[in-house]
Amino acid sequence: MLEFCLVGGGFIGPLHAANIAAHPGARLAWVVDLDHAAANALAAKHGARATNDLDAALADPAVGAVMICTPPRTHAAIIERAARSGKAVFCEKPVDLDMQRVDACARTLASTGTPFFVAFNRRFDPTHRALFDALRAGEIGRPEMLVLSSRDPEISPPDYVAAMPYGIFYDTMIHDFDMVRWLLADEPVEVVARTACMLDAAENPHRDPDTAMVMLTMASGALVHVNSSFRAVYGYDQRIEAFGAKGMLISRNQQPTTLERYGTSGIRRDPLLRFFIERYAESYRRELDDFVRAMGEKRAPSITLDDGRRALLIAEAAVASAKSGKPVPIG
Amino acid sequence: MLEFCLVGGGFIGPLHAANIAAHPGARLAWVVDLDHAAANALAAKHGARATNDLDAALADPAVGAVMICTPPRTHAAIIERAARSGKAVFCEKPVDLDMQRVDACARTLASTGTPFFVAFNRRFDPTHRALFDALRAGEIGRPEMLVLSSRDPEISPPDYVAAMPYGIFYDTMIHDFDMVRWLLADEPVEVVARTACMLDAAENPHRDPDTAMVMLTMASGALVHVNSSFRAVYGYDQRIEAFGAKGMLISRNQQPTTLERYGTSGIRRDPLLRFFIERYAESYRRELDDFVRAMGEKRAPSITLDDGRRALLIAEAAVASAKSGKPVPIG
Amino acid sequence: MLEFCLVGGGFIGPLHAANIAAHPGARLAWVVDLDHAAANALAAKHGARATNDLDAALADPAVGAVMICTPPRTHAAIIERAARSGKAVFCEKPVDLDMQRVDACARTLASTGTPFFVAFNRRFDPTHRALFDALRAGEIGRPEMLVLSSRDPEISPPDYVAAMPYGIFYDTMIHDFDMVRWLLADEPVEVVARTACMLDAAENPHRDPDTAMVMLTMASGALVHVNSSFRAVYGYDQRIEAFGAKGMLISRNQQPTTLERYGTSGIRRDPLLRFFIERYAESYRRELDDFVRAMGEKRAPSITLDDGRRALLIAEAAVASAKSGKPVPIG
Amino acid sequence: MLEFCLVGGGFIGPLHAANIAAHPGARLAWVVDLDHAAANALAAKHGARATNDLDAALADPAVGAVMICTPPRTHAAIIERAARSGKAVFCEKPVDLDMQRVDACARTLASTGTPFFVAFNRRFDPTHRALFDALRAGEIGRPEMLVLSSRDPEISPPDYVAAMPYGIFYDTMIHDFDMVRWLLADEPVEVVARTACMLDAAENPHRDPDTAMVMLTMASGALVHVNSSFRAVYGYDQRIEAFGAKGMLISRNQQPTTLERYGTSGIRRDPLLRFFIERYAESYRRELDDFVRAMGEKRAPSITLDDGRRALLIAEAAVASAKSGKPVPIG
């Protein structure tokens, strides 16, 4: 039984807490949050203890792993404290937006021998995973082109946007950059990016890019396209298409029901699942299971800090290309 | 080059005339219609001769085949005149609604050695044909159940309905009865039918059945369901599903375009193709081609008068079951 | 918090136990099973107590509800014992296969004022429910035809089949009969049924019907078709199609992933979800939630013993029709 | 009745000839080809006259229009001869690959007042046209991103490839560049292109690019992605996706039949229509109809030489970007 100390009880925290509670090999032992009420409520629901003092929780020898669900700027510090306490770390992406800080974390994790997992949850989506398996099995031969559509139903609140300029690369497409590396088992050597502000000023008052296209060239020569928007009114649009010498694989969108409605104006199906919580519900369960199993089997978690670092490198290069207008080499 | 005398220039006549004109091995020589204007217009368009005297056209030795597109009650007489003139016959279904009349035609055709084709056009639809081919190839093993949906977008005009009581069996499902026999290479031994008048009195003033379900038991033991309606507001609904020991085959509906429209209320595609002229355009071309080839190769046409007769027998039994409420044996 | 005594720890029991454990308003207090090991294992997993003495569990005043997951022939006796103990009852279908026994249960439940729920789980499937909602909202106007396909991937083991002759009606289509009543808010007045043994003797040694078609006529005049098979090799085939004056609604099948594979031989998607546990996972969660809420709100559960009784009446009539070959009136 | 002189009886010529023959307002009067046998055969089939002397045909005062189906390098000269003869011109794309030659043609057409149509047939595909209509009707608001997939089933023969280096832009994507301009009613201001040789040396001995991705920035700020390959083993892959403020429109691929095959390994549908002749059969008919109507109504044809010129400009810029690696401004 792996006991977790969950840090950060807001937003994605309750989702992870519920998954820990439901997992046969995991237990939620602590909830750490500066907001006492939030910590208490979440802890009470799952029979855990609440605190606003991370050190108190880290001092509990029963705790085997720290799950970090706090805002990104706090991740690195918590990673380092957890590592020094000898706890394994399950960290929401990104590790940090500052590459030097990421590298410092890497050194701490290495010197302490801390198992570390960065939660690129999409790798555990059943359909994306089936696409990955088909690629690995050689179903379409050598992959030649990859096309990803990655569109949110709406833009984040203005203060969230303000806190992370070029969030369309750092926060959204970073998932796609990880998918590209993982699916192709290949690294990009160049990126060209273009952005636009398509939302009106009321929706996007900071005029941070809300629409973007990226073209990546991989070391193998494979070509990759990614597009993103912060306003897909029909739902959370998440598609991946891999084209190769022997065929094509498409991970299609998902809908809440399979109902078809036939009428004089045509045939209508549901809009897409609305947000990532519903769309990737299963992948959140499976990434936790993978981490718990890795700990039980004494093996390294399947997504490393270096994976987080490399996705961030691509995002940085995409921002540089969007700003300069030029292709930017990577690595 | 097979020269045709087309009898009946209204309704389905112009469609057949255009297909003859476009066919490399066929030519439209005569258009026969009591309505001079109609005959002249159609003939002029295709470089044929017009007449209201069938005998005059039948006397033309260049004519090799008669295509019968007149109302059903006139078919038998024209078949017999064509047969006695030594012309091959391509006849719209049904041969006749009176079984004794059909049998008389059969005798005439036999004694004169006349090639005869009854136009169950659906056998030539590319998707239905692909389903047939897959069945014959054993893709789903022995067929065990067949489910057919056969729904018209709207009811025929009142006088048309009045002229053929129980037209839902005699005019519409007769196509499905033929499909059942053809697809399964098997004969029904029993039918149970139920009908309803679901349209309101303004649409269906004669209160002839506009909605029907039929269950057939085949000699092999296979079970068959057919449903029909005269008011499918979303278009011409034509589906066939074959279930067997090794799988299932579905001939799905068809739409004018493949456009998908994504919006806040969901994903919308076109309604179905609106009527049989569009839906079965290709099958009309292919049935003609099959007939022309059969004549060129001196072989019998691929759908016989006996096929027409047997479909009619099933329709008669379905009417008897709908009236009595009881299962009715066939054959 | 509603505390449950679960009776029957095999087969569907663990599924219900896990759903109770995950439900915020429910708790698993007891597991009752004659098999000590099974009871102990299931109880231990969820922190409940195990016993093989139903009375001991019923004596626990904390227990508010009994969940019955035992074989069908034991249901009635447990219902009556639970009712006399003052516990609410959540019972897997069927109540009993003997109508007199069902009626006796009804009297006991009435005299004791026991809340009772029969678990026709399909009513809680999100897509079927969306179809129901659309019907109620009048999206397709008056329903005129209903077509249900209800096919299992494989036949049950021989002893299970032997224990319930005509299980294709009593065990499988009984779900569909309930769906018909619920969706149409209407009662059937007649049924015609036909069956076949299509599986080979190795798979179906008792030669109990493994394939069936049913036609129902509803009091409103609506026509209903149901087909069923015990060997759909492509997965658990569960479709409902409602046709009405203004359109059509289709509850389509479901698949494990949305992956599409394009190759020279065509485009391939997953087979259907394999069995009812996966296919109806969400409906099992939702039916429990509905029951727990009903108890919390002091309202009657949403599926009554009379619903169970009426579905059984239809199944009995279908068996009678299949045996006699004749249409059989209902009610 | 518009009488045509068709120049070039090979490849696409017979398709256009058959469409002219089938069109009620058009007639094929001449077939001009240096290959006597080809000209004779095609002319005989449609009751036209054959010649290898273009001037002879142009001297026929009955001829109203010249249809140019010869190899691209001959287009400009024939356009000019037709223009000077006072005939309208229907020309297969491209006008020419040399921009100065195109401009010279433009001057000749202007000075002679010659009606001219360049056959970007895809504009007349029913589904692409429905997407266009939906965009114009404002269904998705302002278009923000356009994604086009344009993949051939196989590479052209080596000598064809050798005759047109960078044919992936000049011959294939030029259609997409026209679609982008037409659909968005907007002009690109910049292009970035990347190419690869993914086919093996046996298939692509000249190592001309067989795989390409392009990113266009439009004057409006809209972002466009186009990808192409010369080896889509599953068929001719032709998709367009328009994303906007209010939704998304997708022109999906098309298949020969709608058959679905369910088996243990999943659900299989047909591969895509194999080649452009089948896929765009209807658009070829409709572009001819549009041209014939324009002539009858004395209006300018709906696709102009300037459209051909602008698509070529984009292709040239894409080649420049692929060669230099840099973004290239357009116009």
| Chain D residues touching residue A198 (CB < 8 angstroms) | 142, 144, 221, 245
Q: Are C236 and C276 in contact (CB under 8 A)?
A: yes
* Residue among C252, C255, C260 with most chain A CBs within 10 A, to mutate: C260
> What are the strands of the beta sheet with D26-32, ordered from one edge?
D49-51, D26-32, D2-7, D63-68, D88-92, D116-119
| Chain A residues touching residue D198 (CB < 8 angstroms) | 142, 144, 221, 245
**Sign, Cα dihedral of A198, A200, A203, A209:** positive
Q: How far is A250 from chain C (nearest CA, A)?
A: 5
Query: Tokens 């006008």 label which residue?
Result: D95
* Residue among D258, D280, D286 with most chain B CBs within 10 A, to mutate: D258
Q: Are A224 and A230 in contact (CB under 8 A)?
A: no
pLDDT tens figures, D228-260: 999 999 999 999 999 999 999 999 999 999 999
Two tokens, residue D20: 């002219």
pLDDT at C242 over 90: yes
pLDDT for A45: 80
Q: How far is A260 from chain B (nearest CA, A)?
A: 10
d(CA A214, CA A206): 22
| Residue A233 to residue B264, Cβ atoms within 8 A | yes
Strand partners, A224: A146, A216
d(CA D152, CA D156): 9
pLDDT for A47: 83
Two tokens, residue D74: 């001959």
d(CA A150, CA A168): 10
pLDDT tens figures, A157-171: 999 999 999 999 999
d(CA D158, CA D161): 5
| Chain C residues touching residue D229 (CB < 8 angstroms) | none
Kindly tell me the burial class for residue A317, based on how many C-beta atoms sit within 10 Å of its own C-beta (0-12, 13-18, 19 or more): buried
- Is some CB atom of chain A closer than 8 A to the CB atom of D99? no
Closest to B82 measured CA to CA, from B98, B100, B69: B69
pLDDT tens figures, D141-192: 999 999 999 999 999 999 999 999 999 999 999 999 999 999 999 999 999 9
| Residue from the list B144, B198, B215 with its beta carbon closest to the beta carbon of C229 | B144
- Is some CB atom of chain C closer than 8 A to the CB atom of B134? no
pLDDT at B275 over 90: no
Q: How far is C223 from chain B (nearest CA, A)?
A: 7
Helix axes D99-112, D75-84, angle to 10 degrees: 10
Helix axes D13-22, D36-46, angle to 10 degrees: 20
d(CA A221, CA A162): 36
Per DSSP, D70 falls in state S
Q: How many CB atoms lie within 10 A of CB A297?
A: 8
- Is some CB atom of chain B closer than 8 A to the CB atom of D265? no
Which H or E run includes B83? helix B75-84
Averaged pLDDT for residues D110-122: 97
Averaged pLDDT for residues D91-96: 94
The answer to which of B7-11, B212-216, D196-200 has the lowest mean pLDDT is B7-11
Q: How far is B103 from chain A (nearest CA, A)?
A: 43
d(CA D147, CA D87): 38
DSSP track, B55-67: HHHHT-TTEEEEE
Give the side-chain half-sphere CA count within 13 A for C8. 19
d(CA D293, CA D300): 10
| Residue C248 to residue A256, Cβ atoms within 8 A | no
Report chain D's mean pLDDT, rounded to a whole number: 96
Averaged pLDDT for residues C97-120: 96
Q: How far is B282 from chain D (nearest CA, A)?
A: 11
Distances in whole angstroms, Cα of residue D124 to Cα of each of C44, C137, D28, D288, D315: 68, 40, 22, 10, 21
What is the percent of chain D where pLDDT is above 90? 93
Residues A24/A26/A28/A29 CA torsion (nearest 10 deg): 120
* Residue among A124, A259, A260, A279 with most chain C CBs within 10 A, to mutate: A259
d(CA A27, CA A18): 10
Q: Which residues contact B146 (CB under 8 A, 6 or more apart)?
A: B180, B183, B184, B222, B223, B224, B225, B240, B241, B242, B243
Averaged pLDDT for residues D316-324: 98
| Chain C residues touching residue B245 (CB < 8 angstroms) | 198, 231, 233
Closest to C44 measured CA to CA, from C9, C87, C2, C12: C9
- Is some CB atom of chain B closer than 8 A to the CB atom of A233? yes
d(CA A79, CA A305): 11
Q: How far is B120 from chain C (nearest CA, A)?
A: 26
Strand bridging mode D49-51 / D26-32: parallel
Closest to B92 measured CA to CA, from B36, B23, B175: B175
Q: How far is B138 from chain C (nearest CA, A)?
A: 15
pTM of the model: 0.96
Give φ, ψ of D169 to 5 degrees: -95, -45
pLDDT tens figures, D282-294: 999 999 999 999 9
Two tokens, residue A55: 């050190």
> What are the strands of the beta sheet with A116-119, ordered from one edge?
A49-51, A26-32, A2-7, A63-68, A88-92, A116-119
Q: How far is A272 from chain B (nearest CA, A)?
A: 7
Give φ, ψ of C221 to 5 degrees: 100, -15
Two tokens, residue B235: 């278009």
Two tokens, residue B30: 């005569």
| Residue D234 to residue C266, Cβ atoms within 8 A | yes
Tell me which residues of chain A have a pLDDT lower than 50: none
Cis peptide before A94 (omega within 30 of 0): yes
pLDDT tens figures, B84-113: 999 999 999 999 999 999 999 999 999 999
Across the A:D interface, residue pairs with CB atoms under 8 Å apart total 94
* Residue among A215, A236, A240, A326 with most chain D CBs within 10 A, to mutate: A215
d(CA A243, CA A300): 31
Q: Are C254 and C272 in contact (CB under 8 A)?
A: yes
> Nearest 5 degrees, angle CA D132-CA D244-CA D310?
50
Residue window 241-260, chain C: list those with CB within 8 Å of chain D. Answer: 255
pLDDT tens figures, D218-228: 999 999 999 99
| Residue A260 to residue C254, Cβ atoms within 8 A | no
* Residue among C151, C189, C207, C213 with most chain B CBs within 10 A, to mutate: C213
| Residue C243 to residue B225, Cβ atoms within 8 A | no
| Chain D residues touching residue A196 (CB < 8 angstroms) | 144, 221-223
Residue of D nearest to C256 (CA): D266
| Residue A269 to residue B271, Cβ atoms within 8 A | no
| Residue D234 to residue C263, Cβ atoms within 8 A | yes
Closest to B172 measured CA to CA, from B213, B143, B201: B213
d(CA C127, CA C132): 9
pLDDT tens figures, D42-68: 998 888 999 999 999 999 999 999 999
| Residue D145 to residue A231, Cβ atoms within 8 A | no
pLDDT at B247 over 90: yes
d(CA A22, CA D89): 72
Query: Tokens 């516990």 label which residue?
Result: C87
Q: Which residues contact A200 (CB under 8 A, 6 or more apart)?
A: none
pLDDT tens figures, C21-68: 888 899 999 999 999 999 999 998 888 999 999 999 999 999 999 999
Per DSSP, A98 falls in state S
Q: How many CB atoms lie within 10 A of CB D183?
A: 22
Residue type, A226: V
pLDDT for C144: 98
| Residue C268 to residue D263, Cβ atoms within 8 A | no
| Chain D residues touching residue A217 (CB < 8 angstroms) | 194
Q: How far is A307 from chain D (nearest CA, A)?
A: 26
List all chains that touch chain C, counting a touch as 3 or more CB pairs closer than 8 Å.
Answer: A, B, D
* Residue among D149, D229, D238, D262 with most chain C CBs within 10 A, to mutate: D262
pLDDT at B267 over 90: yes
Using pLDDT thresholds of 50, 70 and 90, give the confidence band for residue D275. confident
d(CA B64, CA B296): 11
pLDDT for C5: 98
Residue of C nearest to D265 (CA): C271
Averaged pLDDT for residues B233-237: 98
pLDDT tens figures, B295-328: 999 999 999 999 999 999 999 999 999 999 999 9
Across the A:B interface, residue pairs with CB atoms under 8 Å apart total 47
Q: How many CB atoms lie within 10 A of CB D283?
A: 21
d(CA A65, CA D115): 76
Residue type, C264: T
DSSP track, A243-292: EETTEEEEE----S--EEEEETTEEEEPPPP-SHHHHTHHHHHHHHHHHH
| Residue from the list A213, A233, A247 with its beta carbon closest to the beta carbon of D247 | A233
Longest Cα–Cα distance of chain A, Å, equals 67
| Chain B residues touching residue C215 (CB < 8 angstroms) | 192, 194, 213, 215, 225
Q: Are D236 and D275 in contact (CB under 8 A)?
A: yes
Q: Are C144 and C223 in contact (CB under 8 A)?
A: yes
Distances in whole angstroms, Cα of residue A185 to Cα of each of A135, A306, C144: 10, 14, 55
| Chain D residues touching residue B149 (CB < 8 angstroms) | none
d(CA C107, CA A290): 52
> What are the strands of the beta sheet with C63-68, ordered from one edge?
C49-51, C26-32, C2-7, C63-68, C88-92, C116-119
| Chain D residues touching residue A230 (CB < 8 angstroms) | none
Cis peptide before D94 (omega within 30 of 0): yes
What is the percent of chain C where pLDDT is above 90? 94
> Nearest 5 degrees, angle CA B245-CA B250-CA B255?
175
Q: Are C207 and C161 in contact (CB under 8 A)?
A: no
| Residue D263 to residue C271, Cβ atoms within 8 A | yes
pLDDT for D212: 98
d(CA D150, CA D173): 7
| Residue D223 to residue A194, Cβ atoms within 8 A | yes
Two tokens, residue C279: 């296919």
